[in-house]
């Protein structure tokens, strides 16, 4: 089984499980999917968790946190009243969590200093954050929330001088403040206060105080900016992953089209191409007419374009070249054949659509007809093209452009509100197969 097939199987199993078991736990989803694909590997487990996160981000599934338990449901399966109740259940008492974190940190430091990274990890474990929780690093996740609370508590304890931080950034050590030193420090502070009472505060001292305040403010601003930059970076990384995911999905859709003829025993690719052209012209799919099999006179389909009053004004020829290899190029000879068929049948406009690509020679090919005028061949840019002196015009649409229009018009593809690809609209292709 390929990686792509494995991913598709995992998506299918997850959706079936959640569909049949609303509010199923994350643990059960992972366990059942692993059993279904007959795997025990950590790589597959991680892939399942990433797939769950992706489905949640694309709003196909909804993640619900009830205490320390994570469950999943379809958005469509939950009523408004149930959603309110679930949101109540999801609410985390941050004040109590903060108190628990404070107690645990101070208790952990009684026996000696601890590495900061280890202390944070121990605290997360104490709060019940699992390895599965740590995979979701989104800003709204439980892991991110608890990690932020721990950071806040450490900062407050350090500021109140209950703990001290020492060492380099990545090797910081957290320690309880020595009580004897704390007493001495308090004594010194009292002495300083007494001296200040007896002497006037000089302009120099005022200036130094202002410098200290400015320094503290600059440090706070610096760390605020760091936090903001980190969040922006995380968002960009997430967007980059989503873009990469969509590009892979586009290739999957294109390969599906390439194999659809064999799967459905029909002219699915030809009908799909005709439907896209109909959408581009803004007419209904009923205006896309399949010509039929071996006796199609070289034209796979015709799209009837109507004027504003509904009378037929023109017909556009559609020829579909469906290759199993998406890298295969449509040749000049195939363009020449379409030109000959268009001239013989009286078509002025024609579309050459392919699941592959176009040879540059095919795109640059020009013909001279009996009247001495030229046929112009070009890649598709817009429908409002100018024929000029050209008697006929052939517009070429390659495989990548075809899939982009499928996404734009929601034709054969399931797309989220954010424009991310969810999957293939099997009902659409099944209906095409029946035509």
Q: Which of 92-96, 198-202, 422-426 has the highest mean pLDDT?
A: 422-426
Residue 278 shares a structural domain with residue 377: yes
Q: For residue 383, is pLDDT > 80?
A: no
Residue 288 shares a structural domain with residue 397: yes
Residue 81 shares a structural domain with residue 117: no
Instruction: Give the pLDDT band of residue 272 (cuts 50, 70, 90).
Output: very high
Residue 307 shares a structural domain with residue 400: yes
Is 224 inside any structural domain? Answer: no
Q: Looking at the 3D structure of the chain, how many domains does it have? A: 3
Mean pLDDT of 368-372: 51
Instruction: Give the pLDDT band of residue 142 (cuts 50, 70, 90).
Output: confident
pLDDT digits 0-9 by tens, 25-42: 888 888 888 888 888 888
Is 338 inside any structural domain? Answer: yes
SS (H, E, C) the chain: CCHHHHHHHHHHHHHHHHHHCCCEEHHHHHHHHHHHCCCCCHHHHHHHHHHHHHHHHCCCEEEEEECCEEEEEEHHHCCHHHHHHHHHHHCCCHHHHHHHHHHHHHHHCCCCCEEHHHHHHHHHHHCCCCHHHHHCCCCCCHHHHHHHHHHHHHHHHHHCCCEEEECCHHHCEEEECCHHHHHHHHHHHHHHHHHHHHCCCCHHHHHHHHHHHHHHHHHHHHHHHHHHHHHHHHHHHHHHHHHHHHHHHHHHHHHHHHHHHHHHCCCHHHHHHHHHHHHHHCCCHHHEEECCHHHCCCCCEEEEEECCCCCEEEEEEEEEECCCCCCCEECHHHHHHHHHHHHHHCCCEEEEEECCEECHHHHHCCEECCCCCEEEEEECCCCCCCCCCCCEEEEEECHHHHHHHHHHCCCCEEECCCCCEEEECHHHHHHHHHC
Lowest-pLDDT range, 73-82, 341-350, 369-378?
A: 369-378
Greater pLDDT, 211 or 269: 269
Does this model's pTM top 0.75? My answer is no
Is 232 inside any structural domain? Answer: no
Mean pLDDT of 160-188: 72
pLDDT digits 0-9 by tens, 196-244: 555 555 555 556 666 667 667 777 777 777 777 777 788 788 888 888 8
* Residue where a domain stops, chosen among 90, 116, 135: 90
Residue 71 shares a structural domain with residue 108: no
Is 176 inside any structural domain? Answer: yes
Residue 159 shares a structural domain with residue 305: no
Q: For residue 397, is pLDDT > 80?
A: yes
Residue 424 shares a structural domain with residue 288: yes
Domain encompassing residue 46? 3-90
Is 101 inside any structural domain? Answer: yes
Is 251 inside any structural domain? Answer: no
Instruction: Give the pLDDT band of residue 129 (cuts 50, 70, 90).
Output: confident
Residue 86 shares a structural domain with residue 99: no
* Residue where a domain stops, chosen among 178, 199, 220: 199
Is 384 inside any structural domain? Answer: yes
Residue 314 shares a structural domain with residue 430: yes
* CATH assignment of the domain containing 111: 1.10.10.10
* Residue where a domain stops, chosen among 199, 225, 246: 199
Lowest-pLDDT range, 208-212, 253-257, 267-271, 397-401?
A: 208-212
């Amino acid at each position: 089984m390929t990686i792509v097939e494995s991913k598709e199987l995992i998506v299918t199993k997850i959706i079936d499980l959640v569909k049949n078991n609303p509010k199923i736990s994350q643990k059960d989803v992972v366990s059942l999917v692993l059993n279904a694909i007959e795997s025990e590997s950590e790589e597959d487990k991680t892939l399942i968790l990433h797939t769950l996160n992706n489905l949640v981000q694309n709003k196909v599934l909804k993640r619900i946190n009830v205490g320390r338990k994570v469950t999943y449901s379809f958005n469509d399966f939950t009523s408004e009243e149930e959603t309110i109740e679930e949101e109540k259940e999801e609410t985390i008492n941050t004040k109590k969590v903060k108190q628990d974190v404070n107690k645990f940190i101070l208790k952990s430091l009684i026996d000696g200093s601890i590495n900061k990274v280890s202390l944070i990890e121990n605290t997360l474990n104490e709060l019940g954050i699992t390895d599965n929780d740590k995979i979701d690093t989104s800003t709204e996740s439980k892991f991110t929330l608890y990690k932020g609370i721990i950071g806040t508590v450490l900062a407050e304890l350090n500021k109140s001088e209950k703990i001290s931080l020492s060492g380099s950034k990545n090797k910081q050590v957290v320690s309880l403040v020595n009580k004897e030193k704390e007493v001495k420090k308090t004594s010194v502070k009292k002495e300083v206060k007494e001296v200040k009472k007896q002497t006037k505060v000089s302009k120099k001292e005022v200036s130094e105080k202002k410098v200290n305040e400015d320094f503290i403010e600059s440090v706070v601003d610096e760390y605020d900016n760091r936090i903001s930059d980190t969040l922006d970076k995380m968002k960009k990384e997430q967007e980059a992953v989503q873009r990469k995911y969509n590009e892979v999905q586009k290739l999957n859709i294109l390969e599906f089209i390439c194999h659809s003829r064999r799967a459905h025993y029909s002219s699915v690719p030809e009908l799909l191409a005709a439907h896209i052209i109909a959408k581009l012209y803004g007419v209904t799919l009923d205006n896309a007419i399949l010509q039929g099999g071996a006796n199609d006179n070289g034209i796979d389909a015709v799209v009837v374009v109507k004027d504003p009053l509904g009378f037929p004004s023109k017909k556009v020829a559609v020829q579909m070249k469906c290759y199993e290899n998406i890298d295969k190029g449509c040749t000049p000879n195939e363009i020449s054949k379409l030109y000959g068929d268009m001239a013989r049948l009286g078509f002025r406009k024609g579309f050459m659509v392919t699941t592959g690509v176009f040879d540059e020679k095919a795109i640059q090919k020009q013909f001279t007809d009996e009247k001495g005028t030229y046929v112009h061949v070009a890649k598709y840019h817009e429908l409002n093209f100018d024929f000029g002196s050209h008697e006929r015009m052939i517009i070429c649409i390659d495989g990548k452009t075809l899939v982009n229009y499928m996404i734009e018009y929601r034709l054969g593809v399931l797309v989220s509100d954010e424009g991310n690809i969810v999957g293939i609209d099997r009902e659409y292709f099944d209906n095409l197969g029946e035509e």
